Structure formats: C-alpha cells, structure tokens
Amino acid sequence: MPEKINGMINIYKEAQWTSFDVVAKMRGILHIKKIGHAGTLDPAAEGVLPVCIGKATRIADMLSGETKTYRAKMRLGVVTDTLDQTGRVIHRTESSAMQDLSEDKIRSVINSFAGGYDQIPPMYSARHVQGKRLYELAREGKTVNRQPVHVRIDNITVEQIVLEGGFAECGAFSSYPLIELSVTCGRGTYIRSLCADIGEKLGCGAVMTHLVRTRVGPFDIREALRINQVEETPDITKIVIPIDCVFEKLPAVAVEGSFEKLAHNGNKIPAEGLSLYDTAMAPTGKFRLYDAQGAFVGIYCIDESGKMAHPVKMFF
C-alpha cells in the first residue's frame, strides 16, 4: 500500500450502508485516516458516493455542491413520517379516491417542478436547527418549523408510470400507482421531499420507495466500484482519480521554473511567470496550475488587471 494517496475513488454505496460506514471501511482498507465523502446518501439509498483521500478531502465540500442525478421510485397515495419507505405510515388515500388520476395529469404536475421551487427540508435529515440535526429532534418526537430553501431542478423526467400495481414496494400498498423518475438537481435537494411535494400537489400524497444516485458531477455510476471490488484491487493507485480531474473544464496552465517556488508556497504569481499548456485557452479567470514537472499545484485566478495570479485552492 503506498504511503501517500491523494485523490478520489468513485464508490457505489450499497443499500443499508451509511455514508460514514463507507468511509470507515475505506480507512480500514487503505490504512489512511484522512478520508471523507462528498454528498451524504441516506442508508436506504444507493449509488455514487465520491470518497476523497488525503489532500482531496479539501474538495469534499465542493463536490457536495456539484450537480447530481438520481433515479427514484415513488408510490402515490401513501405518506410516511420519514417521507420514504423506512418510515411509519401516517396517511393513506383510499384507492377509490385516486381513480381520476391520469398519466397526463401526473406528468403535468411532475413537469411543473422543473426549474426549481422552495422546498422544506424533511425532519429526518442532517440539517442543523437549534444546534441539533433535524433527525435527532425527530427521534425525540419533536417537530420544528423549517424555513423553505430554494432548490434547483435542472431536469425531471418521468421514466415510467404504473397506475395499477406491478411492483411490491410499500407492502400492503403495492397496488397503489407507482412512478419512476429521473432527476438532475442542485445542492441541497431532497428527493424524498420532492416526491412528497409531488404527491401533495396531486392531492393524494406520495412516498419515495427507492433511490439510486447515478451521478455526482464528473462521477458516473457506470464507473463506480463496490467496496468488495476495492478490497480485491491489488494496486489501489490504479483506481484513484487524480484531484485535477474534478477541474478538467478549467484551462491548464504551467508555471515557469523561476516562479515555481512561489506556486509551491501558495503565493501570488506574476502573469509573465505563466505559460499555457493549451495555447487555445487564455488564462482568464480560474485555471489549473501545474509546476514545471507537471505536478498539479492548485487552482489560481488572474485578477482584473490581468497581471497577477492569485491562489484559490491549493493541493500541492
């Protein structure tokens, strides 16, 4: 096992594992303490969980803010206290009261959430209120007022509508209509709440029955590795994604040798000390900075004068 690993591993979190479980397991596999994750997934959810190692832990929060894509199933006519299938059923709508629900109406309501809306965080969530996480208060039987937060819904697509059963989620309510959605959204969006809000707008309520996160920024589920695959990998460095891959959309710039020490120390660098790796991309705004040996130093930004580059985030 190499002494130093700095980068990310695209992990497929399996259902019933917490995000903390994944990090703890990775610490045991890699024998490295400095490990974190980006974008918490509920225990019942599965899918992409970027694990950040070493210096990459500095971008965990940035990755948490990346656009995410989910595949979700929701059951109409049922409401639980957790807004998902793990909770206690607190309301159900008689199936006879939902006979007027048509596919056209369902699609119209779902499409109305595209673009974004003001969402109230669920009680069973990790948001802090009154110095405690909401799920801690919920477990104490308390319900507190939560301020709505505007969430961004870049895309919401109805993948499937089954009006009369066909699936076995939610036990006795398996005959209730089930909808499968694909959602691409911004930071802080709770898919459980989105499903519940869709159900409320339809007038029958809804509960999320299954959730898979298929993408976090550049991390795709098709390349995600399960924990057992990581354990069986003889050379971990082969599956570590370099930190600079997260910033691949930014121009790549090299620092001239005589200015390299300034870069390594995170100091400002005169513009004349920079040379483009890609001459087609001018270093305006933020860019990736590399030293003369090609090692990634960090993210820099040219100031308004165009004469000085300032450090934004260092990884050297």
Domains: count for the chain: 3
Share of the chain above pLDDT 70, in %: 86
| Within-domain flag for 2 | no
Residues 139 and 48 in one domain: no
Q: What is the pLDDT of residue 285?
A: 79
| Within-domain flag for 175 | yes
Where residue 119 sits, what CATH number does that domain have? 3.30.2350.10
Residues 286 and 305 in one domain: yes
Q: Which of the residue ranges 5-9, 160-164, 223-227, 293-297 would you say has the lowest mean pLDDT?
A: 160-164
Q: What is the pLDDT of residue 128?
A: 64
Residue 41 domain boundaries: 7-66+218-242
Residues 225 and 257 in one domain: no
Q: Per-residue confidence at 300, pLDDT binned at 50, 70, 90? A: very high
Residues 168 and 187 in one domain: yes
Pick the last residue of a domain from 242, 258, 287. 242
Residues 205 and 148 in one domain: yes
Rounded to 5 degrees, what are φ and ψ at 199? -60, -40
Which amino acid makes up residue 152? R
Q: pTM, whole model, 2 decimals?
A: 0.87
Q: What is the pLDDT of residue 94?
A: 87
Residues 127 and 74 in one domain: yes
Tens of pLDDT, residue by residue over 93-130, are: 988 888 888 999 999 999 999 999 999 888 766 666 66
The mean pLDDT of 277-305, rounded to a whole number, is 79
DSSP assignment of 91-114: EE--GGGGTT--HHHHHHHHHTTT
Residues 230 and 308 in one domain: no
Q: What is the pLDDT of residue 169?
A: 47
Strands 252-255 and 269-270: unpaired
Residues 173 and 45 in one domain: no
Q: Which of 21, 42, 81, 154 is catalytic?
A: 42
Question: Active-site residue 104, yes or no?
Answer: no
Q: What is the pLDDT of residue 151?
A: 96
